[in-house]
Amino acid sequence: MDRRHWMYKLKRSDDEYLAGLGGFLKTAEENRLKKGESYIWCPCKDCENCQKKNRFIVEEHLIRRGFMGGYTCWSRHGKTLDRGGVVSNLNKDNVDSNNKYTKLSAVLKLLNLKANGRWSDTSFTSLLEFLNDMLPEGPKQPGNDIDVYLAPLIEDMKTLWSPGVEMYDAFSGENFQPPTMIYLDTGKLKDGKPVREDIMEMGIRHELAPVESPGKRTFLPAACYTMSKAEKTKFCKCLHGVKVSIIEGYATEEVIEYCTDYLQGVTSIGVPISRHEGRLVGVGTIRLKKVIPSREDFQLAHFTVLQHMTIIAPYINEHKRMLEMANRGRSKRWLITDHNKTFSQWLKDKVKASYGLETMDKIVQHLGSGSEHLVTTYRGYDISGYTFYTDQQDHKKIWELKYDSIIIPLFKCKWVHNQHGVRVNNDRFTIVDLSTNGYVSEPFILAKQATQVFYIEDPKDSRKHIVMHSKRRILGVDNVEDEEEYDH
């Protein structure tokens, strides 16, 4: 018998309704006797399972007033919840007890379906109303039936404690049985003398023992993790001053992710799990602009591209050999400087001389001919599992050079001076002085070479910053299975 039909669609004088009501009262009475109680929860529209009555009053209420809305599971009257959180024993209303979704994952799945299917709000609301009518409804709180909810948990705890559960160690390739610690959180307790005395009786944390003073006042020592107001202020100031990335970027998302990476068991809320899903190749994110850079910057950027392309390496070696043969006796420094100044034009001339011939690779021809002078710039860029931002004052630190159909992203960086601005302290933290400036003549790098770091202001010296490496999440994105293999 379909409960939704007879409980809510039929007249309460109908024989089918009265027959269904008889079945409900039988179930409720059996549950009452099983629990040794004197009364039954009344699920009528007015009582709503908040008042207990004898069987005859419950029957009268349900004939005169009808059932409360959505109460097809009868969970307060003997129909319990299984481990999957779905109602069992629903007569002919068969429900699959192998539920693989939690409330959160189910909501996310539904929202994902809505987005992918481009459903309107109206159609999505209709679906939710249908699901609400179709699925059984349980009580909002377990109340006196808390044992029903805790029973599966207690069984699992007993199994964990004895005999235990074997786990597989992928590194050693062996099974092992981990030590078990069962932690029960009984709610937040206010710290005080009784709590400290209980701790002493348990024989732990002796440093927190209450100290009696002559004036009958009791001093409670602070725990090692307790911070003073001044320490809290310093800590918050330190977090506020976290600077992101190699290009002095500031990004709330990355700061949050960085902090949660080092807090075990904490996940970020309201921040996407991965904004790089499906795109490890470079892509600009915010503030696209087209600019014509200075001639000096343009030549430096173009030379950087040529220097880091494997396919150009044979031509670099050829040019260096040619310079060495034509300038015997010159120092190595002079030869490097002259190579840097003349290589781009030399390669361009060589490409021009090869037009119409099959001897030169097409990519070499594109790169050697030079980039378009109109450069695309961004304030934000996603690449290799990282998100980079420029500082707020500069729009010209993230470039895209276009060589015909080839687009190559570069970062223009301000480098810390290696000799005067970088040191490793006794705790093996890297400390940098961001006010120093090094490698002015080599400001560009390929965007894919950049590794994101966080700069945390040194509480002892505001001029110095501690370098902490960011964690990227690229495994499983674009079929990446090994980070080291991807990097090489």
Report the C-alpha gap between 259 and 268 in whole angstroms.
Answer: 9
All residue ranges of the chain with pLDDT < 50 are: 81-98, 246-280, 474-478, 481, 486, 488
User: Which long-range contacts does 390-397 make (Cβ < 8 Å, 24+ apart)?
Assistant: 390/247, 390/248, 390/249, 391/247, 391/248, 391/249, 391/250, 392/250, 395/287, 395/289, 395/291, 396/291, 396/293, 397/247
User: Which long-range contacts does 458-462 make (Cβ < 8 Å, 24+ apart)?
Assistant: 458/431, 459/234, 459/238
Question: Following CA atoms 189, 194, 198, 201 in sequence, which dihedral angle do they give, to the nearest 10 degrees?
Answer: 170
| Residue written as token pair 């150009």 | 312
| Residue written as token pair 């004898």 | 54
Dihedral sign (CA 441, 443, 446, 451): positive
Residues facing 398 on adjacent strands: 378, 411
Report the C-alpha gap between 439 and 451 in whole angstroms.
Answer: 18
Predicted confidence at residue 181, as pLDDT, reads 65
Structure tokens belonging to residue 483: 């980070």
Q: Provide the phi-psi class of 78: left if phi over 0, else alpha when psi is between -120 and 50, else beta.
A: left
Q: How many CB atoms lie within 10 A of CB 115?
A: 9
Report the C-alpha gap between 358 and 355 in whole angstroms.
Answer: 8
Can you give the pTM of this predicted structure? Answer: 0.44
Report the C-alpha gap between 400 and 291 in whole angstroms.
Answer: 11
Predicted confidence at residue 473, as pLDDT, reads 56
Which DSSP symbol is given to 44? Answer: B
Predicted confidence at residue 328, as pLDDT, reads 87
Predicted confidence at residue 395, as pLDDT, reads 53
Predicted confidence at residue 134, as pLDDT, reads 67
3-state secondary structure of 410: strand
